[in-house]
Structure 1
């Protein structure tokens, strides 16, 4: 190995002539492309400030000014007016400069064309302009992608900000809506806070109820996920009221109260196996008609239906409890309670049925063809309200030694000393139970309906005379009255029959003239027979009054003959009248065919003297005809039947007037 090493060529090269723009996470480097020759020259030219004064010139000017000042001072010493001359010279220079500026800034002449004016004006002054770079070749696709990415990033930022603003606004409005809805709920329903929960109560305990079910519910605040989710029960409610507004509040009710309930009271005809009258008792109908509106939220509908279910169950529980303990008085069959149905026969083949209806899908609807019993519906609610009031308002003892729970009337009416048990028994006798009142009202309603139907059939069946019925408004749930008036058209002032019909649950009482009264059973046949006899009696009494007015004499009156010519004919009465001279007699009989209308039979009888005068022309020609004695001439002769349809008149009394007038005159 020699002492001098062999020469080795080493290549030296700068690491990078360009600057680093970015270093990625994986170590890759992004360099700035080097400038071209023209770009380098332009960059260097842009760095030169041609308007800036050079420092050397400034130093030279400073030296020159200092030397000029010295020379001026030196010259001033030589020429006394040199200072004034210098000032005048400077003023002349400034004036020349001002003149040049004004000549450049003055307006262009109007008679010079625009092209010449621009060319002439461009030579008047000099402009400085920076050197412009050469335009790089544009890359459209790259620019499009870059703009798209930039706009996408900007849109994401704007959308995220807008979502945050909307979420914040909705949260604030949701909080406000929640508190306002909670305030509305507290104004309508009883709620209280228990720990972290808000609980409410649907029962009628504050009104005096003692039902075991509390009817509690819980108020829950809805989340964003639960705002649009509804179960089957709530969907059925929204179908009934489609325009229900959304609410941030949700109420949770026990499963046995989620549904539609009503109490149905029906009067069934067992012979036809159909309901002839019915009523449906429900709090929802009353609430919807009086207080509810279409803008009520869903939670209000749920609570109303739940309270309605609780009300129907409480009323039916009280009815069923009393029905089990009730003795079978006033009914045709014992009271039977099976499940949710209470049945009993108030009359033969007439059944009273009370049924509790409950459905989780749709509300119960009554058949519109059936007649509704509004009196029973209102009476049951009044009974329950009265029961609540008695439990809530207990009469205090006065004096203090009196028994607790007695009213003022009972204390004042007591003459002898009575024990508390005796007074309580008396109070029980005076106050009827729910079942007693329900049976009594049902029987009264059925009897009243029978009276109405009988009067309607009577007025349709007998067009002569006119039958008018006026029901009194001063009636109760267990007693009502009607005034029945019978008169003939055109002869109202002649005679008019009027009776008062008092309808009771177990009988029908009729008040006639002269304070006479008649008690009928509830059988429609008895009532129909009485009305037919009343119509026949009215017609006979009208004939009596009319005959007296026309000068006839009443010989015989039989208002109730009862027996007819045949078993199918019922004789409702007869009248026998004669003229003042006794020459003519008329007999009127009212007969009724079974299942048919009233028929009037009239016979006319002349005296034998009248027959003799009629036969004087033929008695000498007939050798067999023998004259009767003179003493038999005032007696009546043969009865002749009157052709009733041939008489002139619209109805019976008018035809009777025509007959009597024609016979006398």
Structure 2
């Protein structure tokens, strides 16, 4: 450079903060004087190191930095700075100390003729000055009292001004805000957090908001608008707080779950931003929400964003037969199994999504306690018992598997479809079949992926005589039916299988109920078969029949039940009215075998239902006339 300019470098004027008083004032530490600075620099000298060690360290540092050349050396090659600014001072002081120590040792040996002396060390006596402590405590209490009195005066002045002007209190609103939200003071700013991190959330986006005091002009304008003709406030008073939420958390967000038949849209999230007016807000360019509702809306936006981000990540990672798609703010998943159509929003599945995410938050913060207490924290009780129970590799892999939120909500949607189809089949059969009655009882307490319905088949007025009960467990893609005899039947999601099973149970109930009524009437059961080998082959189940005899034995009733046709009832009478002796059958006793069976038209008989008609028929045939 042609012209060199001298640059003076000075330390910044900022001093360290020594104390922060209770009213928020900062007390700075006074800068060091020249003598204090010299004493501080002298304290950095290490007198324990010898001169050779110190020079060796300096040489090593000089060799490591010999490759770096500065502009000062190029400008003034004749000037060479010392290795250390305090080098000469330290060396002279150390040499003087060494000579004095040697002289003192020589004098002590020549005088006392002793080579080692143990000198006792006297402890320093602390002077207890009671008056000094009293005055110190009095001064400290006076300073604290002055701070409190100054704060009281400021609060009193603020309260008087607020009362005279009928203004809302900022500190009262801040106290209410602090009761429900986490706040902290950073310098002169009040910052809050509305995220779910303390509840176990690991979402990366922060939920920081800022709390400021609303301008007095806006509060005065809001009071003037809310003041009625009589000078009374109409509606809630305006708040003295103003909450500033990040732009990405403003508006209103919600998760919309739609189920379509042609294109299964099981989980689709829609994020919309809108402005909602609320009474008691401050007027301005746009009506703002009250701080409580504004923070709740922002927290809901953050929750929906976390839920949608987790579902979108799971939809991309899952390996499904039909790949899931994430387009914009929609997630389209196609489940396997029954399909149903529901164009409107499903609030139950939306609530299930919220519950699943909150369950994940709960698991992140609530770990099972180890057994024994010295064990590792984190593994479940089942995994802790894997060693003592000698679990194999497949069991360990099964323990490590965990269903994602998307898989769980798809399973709940499939179960929801399966339950609706089961309800439709039972309601349809109950409308079609009037005799007997079909009553369905759904359990009120069910799991999200399994429901239970108890079906009672009974005739009106004969429920105490005979009743057929069966239980149907509705799963995600299958049905399990436990019949009256204890047999378990597994069915798929096809409706026809459940319909055929219900119809078979209905006709079995009719046959069992007829036999129960016959026993009550005194009739005897001669034969019964639930799987007849005679007659045409039934397309649905098997035909069944029973043969009943009157108490006197002169009347018989034959009942044949065919699921595809219905119930046929025939009667026979003995002795035969058309019995004639022949060459083969000459004795008259053979006329008691009974004649041919004659079919009865049940639809023309009186009676409310089938069992009532059979009861009237048995009563008629039992009479001697």
- Provide the TM-score with structure 1 as the length reference: 0.57
Distance, in Å, in 1 between the alignment partners of 2:270 and 2:326 is 19
Q: What are the Cα deviations for residues 176-213 of structure 1, in whole angstroms up to 9, with x where unaligned?
A: 62222122212221222223322222210111111111
Q: Provide the residue aligned with 1:218 in structure 2.
A: 210
User: What's the secondary structure of 2:447's corresponding residue?
Assistant: coil
State the shift of 1:536 in Å: 0.8
**Contact 2:268/2:332 (8 A) holds in 1:** no
Q: Is 1:194 aligned to residue 152 of structure 2?
A: no
Distance, in Å, in 1 between the alignment partners of 2:593 and 2:320 is 67
User: What's the secondary structure of 1:263's corresponding residue?
Assistant: coil
User: What's the secondary structure of 1:611's corresponding residue?
Assistant: coil
State the shift of 1:170 in Å: 5.5
Q: What are the Cα deviations for residues 516-544 of structure 1, in whole angstroms up to 9, with x where unaligned?
A: 22112222221111111111110011112
Change (3 A) 1:252 1:228: farther
Q: Is 1:575 aligned to residue 545 of structure 2?
A: yes
Q: What are the Cα deviations for residues 267-291 of structure 1, in whole angstroms up to 9, with x where unaligned?
A: 3343xx899x999999xxxxxxxxx
Structure 1 counterpart of 2:479, from 508, 528, 537: 508
Change (3 A) 1:226 1:655: same
State the shift of 1:400 in Å: 8.6
User: What's the secondary structure of 2:259's corresponding residue?
Assistant: strand
**Contact 1:191/1:200 (8 A) holds in 2:** yes
Q: What are the Cα deviations for residues 336-363 of structure 1, in whole angstroms up to 9, with x where unaligned?
A: 333222233334462699xxxxxxxxxx
Distance, in Å, in 2 between the alignment partners of 1:489 and 1:570 is 26
Change (3 A) 1:442 1:547: same
Distance, in Å, in 1 between the alignment partners of 2:204 and 2:534 is 66
Q: Provide the residue aligned with 2:567 in structure 1.
A: 600
Change (3 A) 1:472 1:213: same
User: What's the secondary structure of 2:258's corresponding residue?
Assistant: strand
Q: Is 1:428 aligned to residue 423 of structure 2?
A: no
State the shift of 1:314 in Å: 1.0
Q: What are the Cα deviations for residues 115-143 of structure 1, in whole angstroms up to 9, with x where unaligned?
A: xxxxxxxxxxxxxxxxxxxxxxxxxxxxx
Distance, in Å, in 1 between the alignment partners of 2:410 and 2:478 is 15
Q: Provide the residue aligned with 1:350 in structure 2.
A: 339
Structure 2 counterpart of 1:252, from 230, 234, 244: 244
Distance, in Å, in 2 between the alignment partners of 1:225 and 1:524 is 69
Q: Provide the residue aligned with 1:445 in structure 2.
A: 416
Distance, in Å, in 1 between the alignment partners of 2:195 and 2:295 is 11
State the shift of 1:318 in Å: 1.5
Q: What are the Cα deviations for residues 280-308 of structure 1, in whole angstroms up to 9, with x where unaligned?
A: 999xxxxxxxxxx9889711111111111
Distance, in Å, in 1 between the alignment partners of 2:576 and 2:202 is 92
Distance, in Å, in 2 between the alignment partners of 1:391 and 1:629 is 92
Please give the root-mean-square deviation of Cα atoms over the aligned residues, in Å.
4.4
Distance, in Å, in 2 between the alignment partners of 1:244 and 1:458 is 57
**Contact 1:485/1:498 (8 A) holds in 2:** yes
Q: Is 1:611 aligned to residue 583 of structure 2?
A: no
Q: Provide the residue aligned with 2:108 in structure 1.
A: none
**Contact 2:269/2:331 (8 A) holds in 1:** no
Distance, in Å, in 2 between the alignment partners of 1:395 and 1:347 is 35
Matches within 5 A, 1:161-240: 169=161, 173=165, 177-227=169-219
Q: Is 1:497 aligned to residue 468 of structure 2?
A: yes
Q: Provide the residue aligned with 2:330 in structure 1.
A: 341
Q: Is 1:476 aligned to residue 434 of structure 2?
A: no
**Contact 1:244/1:298 (8 A) holds in 2:** no
Q: What are the Cα deviations for residues 440-480 of structure 1, in whole angstroms up to 9, with x where unaligned?
A: 22222222233233222222222222222333345322223
Structure 2 counterpart of 1:323, from 315, 325, 329: 315
User: What's the secondary structure of 1:467's corresponding residue?
Assistant: strand
Change (3 A) 1:221 1:534: same
Distance, in Å, in 2 between the alignment partners of 1:423 and 1:390 is 22
Change (3 A) 1:380 1:607: same
**Contact 1:536/1:573 (8 A) holds in 2:** no
User: What's the secondary structure of 1:317's corresponding residue?
Assistant: helix
**Contact 1:265/1:278 (8 A) holds in 2:** yes
**Contact 2:249/2:301 (8 A) holds in 1:** yes
Q: Provide the residue aligned with 2:3 in structure 1.
A: none
State the shift of 1:417 in Å: 7.6
Query: Highest CA radius of gyration, 1 or 2?
Result: 1
Distance, in Å, in 2 between the alignment partners of 1:195 and 1:608 is 114
**Contact 2:269/2:329 (8 A) holds in 1:** no
User: What's the secondary structure of 1:452's corresponding residue?
Assistant: helix
Q: Provide the residue aligned with 1:383 in structure 2.
A: 356
Distance, in Å, in 2 between the alignment partners of 1:396 and 1:187 is 31
Q: What are the Cα deviations for residues 195-241 of structure 1, in whole angstroms up to 9, with x where unaligned?
A: 332222221011111111102222232224444899xxxxxxxxxxx
Q: Provide the residue aligned with 2:380 in structure 1.
A: 407
Change (3 A) 1:209 1:480: same
List gaps (5 residues or longer) in structure 1. 1-167, 231-241, 283-292, 354-365, 617-625
**Contact 1:506/1:521 (8 A) holds in 2:** yes
Distance, in Å, in 1 between the alignment partners of 2:335 and 2:220 is 52
Q: How many residue pairs were aligned?
A: 440
Q: Which moved more, 1:527-536 or 1:248-257?
A: 248-257
Whichever structure has more strand as a proportion of its residues is 1
Distance, in Å, in 1 between the alignment partners of 2:422 and 2:380 is 38
User: What's the secondary structure of 2:357's corresponding residue?
Assistant: helix
